[in-house]
Chains A and B, each alone.
Chain A
Amino acid sequence: ETVLTQSPATLSLSPGDRATLSCRASQNVDIYLAWYQQKPGQAPRLLIYDASNRAAGIPARFSGSGSGTDFTLTITSLEPEDFAVYYCQQRRNWPPVTFGQGTRLEIK
């Protein structure tokens, strides 16, 4: 099973700041990594697929990078609605599909 480790667990920033979230895979996943945003009481929302492609309707301030085992989600100039939990997910080595444990982005 491919284990995804996200860091940090919690990130405290202010609106307007830049956020950098990390996801490390226990084995190669090529570019087959996605990022999701989840707000309280809501279903996850796909942000990024295949490491660097924004999903439909996702603002340009969200970007993804990486390949192999190390990936980054960057949010430039945080908006109030960006404070949420973010998960990475791999589809290279499945089953099982695996998710990271999440990074909580909170307002400082």
Chain B
Amino acid sequence: QVQLVESGGGVVQPGRSLRLSCAASGFIFSNYGMHWVRQAPGKGLEWVAVIWYDGNRKEYADSVKGRFSISRDNSNNMLYLQINSLRAEDTAVYYCARTRLDRGRGEDFDYWGQGTLVTVSS
């Protein structure tokens, strides 16, 4: 069965960095685009970033462009989100999500991880 397990969240001071990880299993990871979506406490869903199945395309929300970097290791079925220069407004649960269609054919999400909480606070 498909599983996505995030890790790496925690309490971090403003301006510091953090790397989130998402371990994937139960499917051919290298065939699917992967996204990060976040949710601030009590708020709605906000798309953060996508990486193409082969890693050749990456896109970011304007709110994180230049500070966040998405990457993947298809050999080890891992997705990453490097978050730099953390701000209070980055406080959220971060979800990794798999695209429903393989090989870049569409960006909606059929599997989600349980999320990892990032709290930015001094």
- By a beta-carbon cutoff of 8 Å, the part of chain A in contact with chain B is 32, 34, 36, 38, 42-46, 49, 55-56, 87, 89, 91, 94-102
Contacts and interface: CB of A to CB of B under 8 A. Distances in A.
Given A49-B100, A91-B108, 10 more contacts: A32-B108, A43-B113, A46-B110, A49-B108, A56-B110, A91-B107, A96-B47, A96-B59, A97-B50, A99-B45
B108 A44 contact: no
Interface residues of B, number: 21
Given A96-B47, A98-B47, A99-B47, A89 B108 contact: yes
Residue with the highest number of chain A CB atoms closer than 10 Å, among B95, B107, B110, B115:
B107
B100 to A, nearest CB: 6
B115 A34 contact: no
A17 to B, nearest CB: 24
Nearest to B4: A43
Nearest to A49: B108
B60 A95 contact: yes
Contacts of B45: 36, 38, 44, 87, 89, 99, 102
| Chain A binding surface, main DSSP class | loop
Contact of B106 (A44, A91, A95, A98): A91
Interface string B102-118: 00001111101111000
8 contacts: A32-B106, A34-B109, A36-B109, A44-B109, A91-B106, A97-B47, A100-B44, A102-B45
B66 to A, nearest CB: 15
Contacts of A96: 47, 59, 61-62
Contacts of A99: 44-47
A36 B111 CA distance: 11
A49 B60 CA distance: 23
A45 B114 CA distance: 11
A33 B59 CA distance: 20
A94 B108 CA distance: 11
